[in-house]
């Protein structure tokens, strides 16, 4: 799923804090947002493996939840919501598309790496690819409770995230061609081979 969906997923999950400890709602939502986006910081280095931990984030989130329940504080609530956001991100990527450059072609059998079992998990493709209309629908659905419950400035964060989701969905199917053109036609003729080696092969039409 696309990054805005994960960000909103982390925030919607964190919104549950408002019902049990409303004084921590703000910090919970910020931590949920950050945890929701964090795993995709591995986009350029071992995507969906380096920072995606479907099993371990889930285990640590549950542990953090117990600690936060026994000793609620800004630190324990933030840690729980961050880990929960990252866990839900890593697990829900399984239900989207694979790692291929054009995920709508459904050619990859890799969704997320399971470090616990040391193997790739296959994409289920319930949401066919990141930035698909179904993905946008998930984003919009997750945003509803947030827009109802929150005031500014968090409401503005939700609206900004939704704007990114709409724009990303609109241009998603153009991005692979654009990326490949930039890499193959603009960068490749000028970059030395050892630097070009850092460009993930999925961004190249020409095998490098
Ligand atoms: Zn991801």
SS (H, E, C) the chain: CCHHHHHHHHHHHHCCHHHHCHHHHHHHHHHHHHHHHHHHHHCCCCCCCCCCCHHHHHHHHHHHHHHHHHCCCHHHHHHHHHHHHHHHHHHHHHHCCCCCCCHHHCCCCCCEEECCCCEEECCCCCCCCCCCHHHHHHHHHHHHHHHHHCCCCHHHHHHHHHHHHHHHHHHHHHHHHHHHHHHHHHHCCCCCHHHHCCCCHHHCCCCC
What is residue 207's predicted lDDT score, i.e. its pLDDT?
43
Q: Report CA(127)–ligand 1 centroid distance (Å).
A: 13
Give distance in angstroms: CA of 35 to centre of ligand 1.
Answer: 11
Distance (angstroms) between ligand 1 centre and the Cα of 190 equals 31
Cα of 13 from ligand 1 centre, angstroms: 17
Q: Where are the domains of the chain?
A: 3-203
Residue 206 pLDDT greater than 70, yes or no:
no
Q: How far is the CA of 36 from the centre of ligand 1 (A)?
A: 9
pLDDT digits (tens, 9 = 90+) for 51-64: 999 999 999 999 99
Distance 93 CA to ligand 1 centre (A): 6
Query: What pLDDT, on the 0 to 100 scale, is given for residue 200?
Result: 67
Average pLDDT, the chain: 92
Question: What's the gap in Å between 75 CA and the centre of ligand 1?
Answer: 25
Q: What is the pLDDT of residues 129-182, one digit of tens each?
A: 999 999 999 999 999 999 999 999 999 999 999 999 999 999 999 988 888 888
Looking at the chain, the whole-number percentage of residues with pLDDT higher than 90 is: 78
What's the pLDDT band for 202 if we cut at 50, 70, 90?
A: low
């Amino acid at each position: 799923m696309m990054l805005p969906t994960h960000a909103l997923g982390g925030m919607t999950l964190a919104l549950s804090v408002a019902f049990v400890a409303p004084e921590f709602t703000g910090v919970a939502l910020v931590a949920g947002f950050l945890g929701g986006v964090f795993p995709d910081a591995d986009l350029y280095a071992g995507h969906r493996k380096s920072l995606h931990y479907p099993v371990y984030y889930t285990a640590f989130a549950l542990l953090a939840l117990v600690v936060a329940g026994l000793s609620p504080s800004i630190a324990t609530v933030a840690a729980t919501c961050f880990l929960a956001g990252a866990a839900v991100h890593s697990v829900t990527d399984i239900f989207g598309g694979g790692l291929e450059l054009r995920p709508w072609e459904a050619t990859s059998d890799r969704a997320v790496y399971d470090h616990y079992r040391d193997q790739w998990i296959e994409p289920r493709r319930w949401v066919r690819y990141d930035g698909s209309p179904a993905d946008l629908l998930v984003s919009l659905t997750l945003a509803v409770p947030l827009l109802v419950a929150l005031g500014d400035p968090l409401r503005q964060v939700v609206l900004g995230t939704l704007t990114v989701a709409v724009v990303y969905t609109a241009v998603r199917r153009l991005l692979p061609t654009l990326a490949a053109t930039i890499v193959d036609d603009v960068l490749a003729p000028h970059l030395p081979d050892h630097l070009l080696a850092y460009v993930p092969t999925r961004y190249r039409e020409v095998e490098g």
